[in-house]
Chain A
Amino acid sequence: MKKFLTVLLTLIFLLSLVAGAFITQKDVFGTSKITLKLGAWASSPAEKKIVQNQIAAFKKLYPNVDIKLVEIVGDYNQKMQLLMASKTEPDIFYMDSMPAWQYIAKNVLEPLDSWMKKYNVKTIGYESSLLQPFIYKGKVYGLPKDYNTLVLFYNKEMFKQAGLTQPPKTWQELKEYAKKLTTDKVVGLTMNLELARIQPFAYQNGGKVFDGEKPVFTDPKALEGLKFALDLFKEGICKTPKDLGAGWVGDAFADKKAAMTIEGGWMIPFLNDRKIPKDSYGIAELPAGPAGKSTMAFTVAYVMSKNSKHKPEAFKLIRFLTGEGGQKYVVEAGLALPSLKSAGANFAKTYPERKALVDGAKYAQVYFYGLDGTKVVDVFNKAFEDYVIGKKYDLKKNIEERVKQIMK
């Protein structure tokens, strides 16, 4: 009897163990969720809303994937480096075009090629120039989430008062109009004195500041173009927002301190917030130079961490965010331009008055200068300052000196 009981008890014990194992196994497959972390810098509530909508839509498609939005406040690159050093970085995160290669070269991002092949994602679907910062040594490391281009915003009222009907189409017109529009209280044009705004003039003149993988500092055509823009500052018909006592060009333009400004599409939501009526200003492509049109594109991509524990799901999320499903929300919000060509067409249809932004993408140079990006930008920016404020008028010599100092 005692023996029987022992056997029975043992059996029951074993059975319950097996059953328990089964139950827990079932538990794992049935209810457990994968959590993906999505890293983003803190931005406006409107912009955050887009990501939240995208996440909600993705969760509907993949109910077993939970997504945690990790908002990084403050210096994004500093925090991201610290997160990476402690191996707690998000699975996928925003990557600005400028520092992209610095991350890629350190081997911390997952190349996406094999994943793209597996899940049938093709690079040709995206606006082509946007991918350049995220391709390193032939491998793709990020897919662009959205972008923006520089355009010319102009105040229609001021144009009318000066007897102008059309936005300037050429350099000569730009200069002429800026002169006409400049009065005691208003300056014709305002823009930042930095490479990110002045560079299009180099390309509009047929010059280059970046070629393939290397910066070009003293291309004569480029220098000539840059000089044209810088001389607008020296003639007093173009001023920086700081010179106008404004926080940024958006304030200067909204406060009617300037008649025209060269800035990106992010101006539009800002002007809406400032209650500037939509038909009081116009948006045009940048005036063409002797060699044609050019503008700048600013883009941000989604990249995947090499340490991610859920790479297939992480890639599916990237595919969704940069694909038709996710880009729909970018189009709807109208804050930035969708990086998918097909979605771009929809954007131009939804917002006809903002067509100039999409048109610019065809000939835009992306804001990106390879591994030494920060230094390249610095060389130009400081040389521009020397030329306009510091009165060292030999731009070429100044750039050469600065290159010698910082670049190797």
Chain B
Amino acid sequence: MRNRTKTQEYLTAFVMLLPYILSFCVFFAYPLVKAFVISFQNFSFLGDAPPKFVGLANYKEALTNKMFLDSILNTLYYSVLVVPTQLIIALILAVIVNDKVKFKEFFRTTYYLPTVTSPVAVSIIFLFLYKTDGLVNQILRHIGITPRNWFNEPSFVMPAIVSVAVWGSVGFYMVTFLSGLSTIPDQLYEAAEVEGAGELTKLLKITVPLLKPMIFFNTVVSFISTLQMFDLSYIIGGSDGGPMGKAMTMVVMIYRTAFKEFNMGVASAMAFVVFGIIFALTLIQRKFFGEEMSY
């Protein structure tokens, strides 16, 4: 046994990893490559006609489709609203829940609960809450604000969806912030208190700088997940994108192109455009936060 060669060791490792490698190839690598190939083809699930190579035509069609371009803007608008809002709320919640309050276990659970609820169920409940005669409007009427048809007015639908998204996912980011907070040594805060620093100063001068890696991680994850938003928008706006298409996101558009317009080639091309956008934005964020933050 002592004379085991490097090759033998590699072989063992390979055999151990085989289940993962296999599932990776079958369920990730193959579909990815296939989708990439389809994005250059005139491809259909239906029928036995062989797919035809069409060069960049699918990409051209995707990038000249006004509805797809609109969906990119809608999605970016959604991301820009969601990411900062949910991270700031999550950070504040994490700081509060970290030590100050009584029953903190209870609050931790409550804030996390929406995260484990299915987004579809969440959207349907919010459809009821935001109805013209729903709870939200009843409350608004009492404080003298005219009730609105939140999910059916072009300028309100996206912000309304944003509120649902923030509610639904803030718990997840709170938990990651919490784990980050536990790594900050208490002495720093004690020292700051001796110096007479207030809560806000402590938050801005100690917590935020030391949580920078966590903030970067959360920003990237949050950005990626918002750019891939499908469920809320699909349930609330449908595959037509809601009032005047204002709730149409990039992924709903891909779904629509593939399964309503039967156009797999263009849908795949759109998917790779979305990939490109996410990739580019993530690179920009890396630059913004500095190289040492790489995860």
Taking CB atoms and an 8 Å cut-off, the chain B residues in 190-245 that contact chain A are 240, 243-245
Q: Residues of A within 8 Å of B, CB-based: how many?
A: 29
* CB closest residue in chain A, given B48: A107
Q: What CA separation (Å) do A75 and B243 show in the bound complex?
A: 21
Interface SS, B side: loop
How many cross-chain pairs have Cβ atoms below 8 Å apart between A and B? 65
Q: What CA separation (Å) do A108 and B49 show in the bound complex?
A: 10
Determine whether B55 belongs to the interface, using a CB cutoff of 8 Å to chain A.
Answer: no
Instruction: Kindly provide the distance from the CB of B125 to the nearest chain A CB, expressed in whole angstroms.
Output: 14
Determine whether A85 belongs to the interface, using a CB cutoff of 8 Å to chain B.
Answer: yes
Determine whether B131 belongs to the interface, using a CB cutoff of 8 Å to chain A.
Answer: yes
Determine whether A406 belongs to the interface, using a CB cutoff of 8 Å to chain B.
Answer: yes
On chain B, the residues within 8 Å of A81 by CB distance are 45-46, 259, 262
Hey, what's the 0/1 contact readout for B110-150 against A, CB within 8 Å counting as 1? 00000000000000000000011110000000000000010
**Which of B45, B67, B132, B240 touches A245 (beta carbons < 8 Å)?**
B132
Determine whether B285 belongs to the interface, using a CB cutoff of 8 Å to chain A.
Answer: no
Q: A385 to B262, Cβ gap below 8 A?
A: no
Determine whether A122 belongs to the interface, using a CB cutoff of 8 Å to chain B.
Answer: no
Q: A85 to B45, Cβ gap below 8 A?
A: yes
**Which of B153, B240, B258 touches A378 (beta carbons < 8 Å)?**
B240
On chain A, the residues within 8 Å of B46 by CB distance are 81, 84-85, 102-103, 106-108
On chain B, the residues within 8 Å of A375 by CB distance are 261
Q: B244 to A386, Cβ gap below 8 A?
A: yes
* CB closest residue in chain A, given B261: A374
Determine whether B102 belongs to the interface, using a CB cutoff of 8 Å to chain A.
Answer: no
Determine whether B260 belongs to the interface, using a CB cutoff of 8 Å to chain A.
Answer: yes
Taking CB atoms and an 8 Å cut-off, the chain A residues in 234-262 that contact chain B are 240, 242-245
Determine whether A218 belongs to the interface, using a CB cutoff of 8 Å to chain B.
Answer: no
Q: A243 to B47, Cβ gap below 8 A?
A: no
* CB closest residue in chain A, given B133: A245
Q: B133 to A389, Cβ gap below 8 A?
A: no
Q: B131 to A406, Cβ gap below 8 A?
A: no
* CB closest residue in chain A, given B64: A405
Taking CB atoms and an 8 Å cut-off, the chain A residues in 368-404 that contact chain B are 374-375, 378, 381-382, 385-386, 389-390
Q: What CA separation (Å) do A358 and B277 show in the bound complex?
A: 53
Taking CB atoms and an 8 Å cut-off, the chain A residues in 84-134 that contact chain B are 84-85, 99, 102-103, 106-108
Determine whether B179 belongs to the interface, using a CB cutoff of 8 Å to chain A.
Answer: no
Hey, what's the 0/1 contact readout for A338-382 against B, CB within 8 Å counting as 1? 000000000000000000000000000000000000110010011
Q: What CA separation (Å) do A386 and B244 show in the bound complex?
A: 7
On chain A, the residues within 8 Å of B58 by CB distance are none
**Which of B48, B134, B244, B262 touches A389 (beta carbons < 8 Å)?**
B244
On chain A, the residues within 8 Å of B240 by CB distance are 378, 381
Q: B244 to A374, Cβ gap below 8 A?
A: no
Instruction: Kindly provide the distance from the CB of A246 to the nearest chain B CB, expressed in whole angstroms.
Output: 8
Given A82-B45, A106-B44, A107-B47; A374-B260 close (CB under 8 Å):
yes
Given A81-B262, A102-B262, A382-B245; A243-B49 close (CB under 8 Å):
no
Determine whether B66 belongs to the interface, using a CB cutoff of 8 Å to chain A.
Answer: yes
On chain A, the residues within 8 Å of B133 by CB distance are 245
On chain B, the residues within 8 Å of A390 by CB distance are 154, 244
Q: B48 to A77, Cβ gap below 8 A?
A: no
Instruction: Kindly provide the distance from the CB of A379 to the nearest chain B CB, expressed in whole angstroms.
Output: 11
On chain A, the residues within 8 Å of B244 by CB distance are 382, 385-386, 389-390
Q: What CA separation (Å) do A381 and B243 show in the bound complex?
A: 10
Instruction: Kindly provide the distance from the CB of B266 to the nearest chain A CB, expressed in whole angstroms.
Output: 12
Instruction: Kindly provide the distance from the CB of B50 to the nearest chain A CB, expressed in whole angstroms.
Output: 12
* CB closest residue in chain B, given A78: B259
Determine whether B152 belongs to the interface, using a CB cutoff of 8 Å to chain A.
Answer: yes
Instruction: Kindly provide the distance from the CB of B208 to the nearest chain A CB, expressed in whole angstroms.
Output: 42
* CB closest residue in chain B, given A79: B259
Interface-centre pick from B65, B133, B149, B262 (highest chain A CB count, 10 A): B262
On chain A, the residues within 8 Å of B66 by CB distance are 405-406
Q: What CA separation (Å) do A245 and B152 show in the bound complex?
A: 10
A-B contacts, 25 listed (Cβ < 8 Å): A75-B259, A78-B258, A78-B259, A81-B46, A81-B259, A85-B46, A99-B262, A102-B262, A106-B44, A106-B46, A106-B47, A106-B49, A106-B262, A108-B47, A245-B132, A245-B134, A374-B260, A385-B243, A389-B153, A389-B154, A389-B243, A389-B244, A390-B244, A405-B65, A405-B66
What 7 A-B pairs come out closest when comparing CB atoms?
A245-B132, A106-B47, A106-B46, A78-B259, A81-B45, A85-B45, A405-B66
- Seen from chain B, the residues whose Cβ lies within 8 Å of a Cβ on chain A are 44-49, 65-67, 131-134, 149, 151-154, 240, 243-245, 258-262
- Seen from chain A, the residues whose Cβ lies within 8 Å of a Cβ on chain B are 75, 77-78, 81-82, 84-85, 99, 102-103, 106-108, 240, 242-245, 374-375, 378, 381-382, 385-386, 389-390, 405-406
